[in-house]
Homo-oligomer: A and B are copies of this chain.
Amino acid sequence: MPTRTAEQRRAEEAVVFNAFLAACPTRQVMATIGDKWAGLVVNALADGARRHGELRTTIAGASQKMLTQTLRTLERDGLVTRTVTPTVPVRVDYELTDLGLTLLPVLRAVKNWSEAHILEVQTARDAYDARPA
């Protein structure tokens, strides 16, 4: 008899795999740009710097909390810069970094695929949902 059952072995493999998964570059990036708001923010900054309030109104659906949180994440990842002008009241501008700019083509690729194939996806969904239970 083996010292470990198949289930135990699988559990251990899962741990290893999850560690690998956490280190996977693609997943780390996906976790950022696949974020609900991050893509929209990057897009909003594509044409140049924007103030916090501008983004707030441009991306009307984001709560102030999520907007700030998203910007922090992007800033931490080196994709945007945060510039504070200590006037009264304070002025804060966000702008894509060079690294952030290189991300735009990737986002466009996703956007292009989406717009090109969303109808097929939608059709497939409708068909699936209309299937006999």
Total copies of the chain: 2
Of A20-28, A44-52, A88-96, the segment with at least 4 beta carbons within 8 Å of chain B is A20-28
Q: Within 8 Å CB of A34, what residues of B?
A: 30-31, 33-35
**A30/B39 in contact, CB under 8 A:** yes
Instruction: Report the minimal beta-carbon distance from A126 to chain B, rounded to whole angstroms.
Output: 10
Contact A128 to B39, CB < 8 A, known contacts A109-B109, A110-B106, A110-B110: no
Secondary structure at chain A's binding surface: helix, strand, loop or mixed? Answer: helix
Closest residue of chain B to A103 (Cβ to Cβ) is: B113
Give 14 pairs: A residue, B residue, CB < 8 Å, sorted on A.
A13-B60, A14-B61, A17-B61, A29-B114, A29-B117, A78-B123, A78-B125, A79-B121, A99-B120, A99-B121, A102-B113, A105-B109, A106-B109, A109-B109
